[in-house]
């Protein structure tokens, strides 16, 4: 097996190389054979790299003359950052076979646009999807699309299902992922036409399709892969994040409301630390663009060191499990069914 | 002012009259002048009513020969329950001016279908919406549509905004509600065409439109009225419920994980009781069908006594504040803008 190399958009994210390099260094501890390409301003990278001696020996710095700002519109980022930005060069390295995967905490829209242009979608995939890892009471699930595109046809939902299942198999280690379609009711009659037609297609496929799932079922871990279109998926993901923040606030208020509750907090503080960790969005950090000819992991812009390390770990695991090959092979197997669906549209 | 009378679909909900009558009795304590019409099986109602002496004197029982089951499809419920079911008769009483509002914890689809047929939409309203009350760190917000219909045009979003604002004014007592559109980003370029066009219309209206809101902002109380279409709204609401349940489970596990944490729990138990109350979905119970010629409040099927009492309270407050008149007047004021939008569609 060839050496795994991860391309890092080192300047990306709200905190830049201070956090990204520390995150890479932490992930590197568990994977001593993996090498890293660090894209960005050489001086800034050298300064922070000096703090992580272990990382220095397994890294190559590639100096880039510009970085994409977090708030730049994707169209502008493409025009300004084409060929010369760290983000572009990191993705290009995946395309050229230099790196096995790339990781960025930078501008999501720009990363998506560049990834599509450089890597292109796999044969049989119409649109890439952004997949998120969702912590559940049973472990973790994959939810997609959480915001790469808006809307979707039945065939696209099936493609998302194949991509999500490959992610669950290779990164989460679920042998036969349970796939469900996000809907507003579990009766057959509910939902949009696209969702209902997608359910018909999935029922006829070889995938382990378990039917519809409602918003309440995601956190309960009722499915390993939750398929939806990008608008709904993004709203669901952000609503869950908002609710977790809200309840964290309630908990903080409750625990400081009286002397007794403050004493209680002191006794229970290790339990609270464990709870905070489970509620921490960084623990499940590492969205992935699926459906491309290469692996691109999107870390949350505000991810801390641990969050960024998780994103790097996801990239390493997906690369070493050859996730892209799995998706390509699984989509090919589905081609007859998908062609059929397409003919159905023309009828 | 004429006496407020609330029509109760007493057999509705997972627990029937045992919970509904106890809930009505609890709500009645705070509103001694309000009268109730109790629709359902007379024998069953009498049996439970005997436990609530105070309620008996302000109630009239209307015996109904059938009740709509929770799992019946709306089309079947309409066919079987037309004219003769407690649900139908309770809504009909609002139509005939007997009751000022009706409350049901029964089959949501059937309640929606019957309400539309019996009460019809207000002039200028194309579609009714189901509005939910959403607890936030700042208080409560109105979110609509949370599942009455799927999809929506820009004009319909504007109508939802007017309806939601009237609800916030009359039931939540917010003088000038801040209205926001649920979207997947706050930049102008994001979101569906319908959402962006709705934002243009709302900007030109007299409403207090504050722009887009993301899923994370709902629980932070960034808006008093959150406007969205029914599929997304339903997924958001149920995802928030699921996340609250999930975090409640994490908290329970954390608090029973060690002797120290159990001791901490004992010290802090009144704080935990307060927290549980804030996390309790029943506290904000009382979805409302808006946009109809009358007030129909939908209680959660699994609501407990307190939850049902909240739904009844919402019905009383909306009726006494003459919410339907407010919506009708506000929509009329918007008619020029909405006609304009309609002409825009034809261009």
Strands (E) in chain A, as ranges, are 5-9, 35-40, 59-63, 101-104, 129-135, 140-144, 179-182, 209-213, 225-227, 287-290, 295-298
Q: Rounded mean pLDDT of B24-48?
A: 96
Separation of alpha carbons B164 and A303, rounded Å: 36
The model's confidence at residue B188, banded by pLDDT at 50, 70 and 90, is: low
Contact partners, residue A132, CB within 8 Å, separation at least 6: A142, A143, A144, A146, A233, A237, A284, A287
Q: Are B238 and A216 within 8 A, CB to CB?
A: yes
Contact A238, A281 (CB under 8 A): no
A78-82, B45-49, B233-237, B267-271, range with the lowest pLDDT: B267-271
Separation of alpha carbons A231 and A234, rounded Å: 5
pLDDT of residue B252: 84
Name the token pair of B49: 């009513």
Q: Rounded mean pLDDT of B336-342?
A: 75
pLDDT of residue A2: 65
- Please provide the average confidence, as pLDDT, over all residues in chain B: 90
Residue B347, pLDDT above cutoff 50: no
Separation of alpha carbons A116 and A283, rounded Å: 27
pLDDT of residue B262: 86
The model's confidence at residue B257, banded by pLDDT at 50, 70 and 90, is: confident
Residue count of chain B:
347
Separation of alpha carbons B10 and B45, rounded Å: 7
Contact A92, A69 (CB under 8 A): no
Contact partners, residue A300, CB within 8 Å, separation at least 6: A105, A281, A282, A285, A287, A307, A311
pLDDT of residue A52: 94
Tokens 């901490």 sit at which residue?
Answer: B264
A19-70 pLDDT, tens digit each = 999 999 999 999 999 999 999 999 999 999 999 988 999 999 999 999 999 8
Q: Rounded mean pLDDT of B260-279?
A: 79
pLDDT of residue A344: 55
Across the beta sheet with A59-63, the strand order is A59-63, A35-40, A5-9, A101-104, A295-298, A287-290, A129-135, A140-144, A225-227, A179-182, A209-213
List all residues of chain A from 280 to 339 with a beta carbon under 8 Å from chain B: none
Contact B161, B178 (CB under 8 A): no
Residue B187, pLDDT above cutoff 60: no
The model's confidence at residue B249, banded by pLDDT at 50, 70 and 90, is: confident
Rounded to two decimals, the pTM is: 0.90
Q: Are A216 and B231 within 8 A, CB to CB?
A: no
Q: Rounded mean pLDDT of A228-250?
A: 91
Considering only residues A263 and B278, tell me which one the structure prediction assigns the higher pLDDT. A263
Residue B48, pLDDT above cutoff 70: yes
Contacts of B184 in chain A (CB under 8 A): 147, 150, 230-231, 234-235, 238
Residue A309, pLDDT above cutoff 60: yes
The model's confidence at residue A347, banded by pLDDT at 50, 70 and 90, is: very low
Q: Rounded mean pLDDT of B182-190?
A: 73
A262-294 pLDDT, tens digit each = 888 888 788 777 777 776 666 667 789 999 999
Report the residue of B241, B250, B269 to disrupt the A interface, i.e. the one with the largest count of A CBs within 10 Å. Answer: B250
Name the token pair of A196: 């209902």
H/E stretch holding B210 reads strand B209-213
List all residues of chain A from 178 to 197 with a beta carbon under 8 Å from chain B: 182, 184, 187, 189, 191-192
Contact partners, residue B337, CB within 8 Å, separation at least 6: B158, B201, B204, B205
Considering only residues A261 and B47, tell me which one the structure prediction assigns the higher pLDDT. B47
Separation of alpha carbons A323 and A162, rounded Å: 11
Residue A208, pLDDT above cutoff 80: yes
Contacts of A249 in chain B (CB under 8 A): 137
Radius of gyration for the alpha carbons in chain A, expressed in angstroms and rounded: 21
């Amino acid at each position: 097996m060839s050496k795994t190399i991860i391309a890092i958009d080192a300047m990306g994210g709200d905190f830049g190389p201070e956090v990204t390099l520390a995150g890479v260094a932490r992930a590197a501890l568990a994977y001593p054979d993996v090498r890293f390409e660090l894209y960005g301003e050489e001086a800034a990278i050298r300064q922070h790299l000096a703090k992580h001696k272990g990382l220095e020996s397994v890294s190559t710095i590639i100096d880039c003359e510009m970085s994409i700002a977090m708030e730049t519109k994707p169209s502008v980022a493409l025009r300004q950052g084409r060929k010369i930005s760290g983000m572009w060069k990191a993705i290009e390295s995946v395309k050229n076979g230099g790196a096995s995967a790339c990781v960025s905490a930078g501008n999501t829209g720009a990363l998506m646009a560049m990834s599509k242009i450089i890597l292109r979608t796999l044969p049989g995939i119409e649109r890439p999807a952004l997949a998120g890892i969702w912590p559940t009471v049973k472990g973790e699930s994959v939810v997609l699309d959480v915001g790469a595109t808006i809307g979707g046809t039945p065939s696209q939902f099936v493609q998302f299902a194949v991509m999500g299942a490959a992610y669950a198999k290779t990164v989460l280690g679920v042998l036969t992922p349970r796939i469900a379609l996000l809907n507003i009711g579990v009766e057959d009659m509910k939902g949009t036409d696209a969702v209902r037609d997608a359910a018909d297609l999935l029922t006829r496929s070889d995938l382990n399709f378990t039917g519809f799932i409602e918003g309440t079922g995601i956190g309960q871990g009722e499915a390993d892969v939750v398929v939806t279109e990008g608008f709904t998926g993004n709203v669901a993901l952000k609503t869950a994040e908002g609710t977790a923040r809200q309840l964290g606030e309630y908990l903080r208020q409750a625990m400081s409301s009286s002397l007794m509750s403050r004493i209680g907090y002191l006794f229970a503080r290790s339990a609270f630390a464990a709870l905070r960790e489970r509620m921490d969005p960084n623990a499940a950090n590492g969205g992935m663009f699926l459906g491309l000819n290469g692996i691109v992991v999107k870390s949350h812009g505000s991810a801390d060191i641990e969050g960024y390390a998780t994103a790097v770990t996801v990239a390493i695991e997906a690369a070493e499990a050859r996730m892209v090959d799995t998706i390509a092979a699984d989509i090919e197997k589905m081609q007859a069914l998908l062609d059929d669906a397409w003919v159905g549209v023309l009828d």
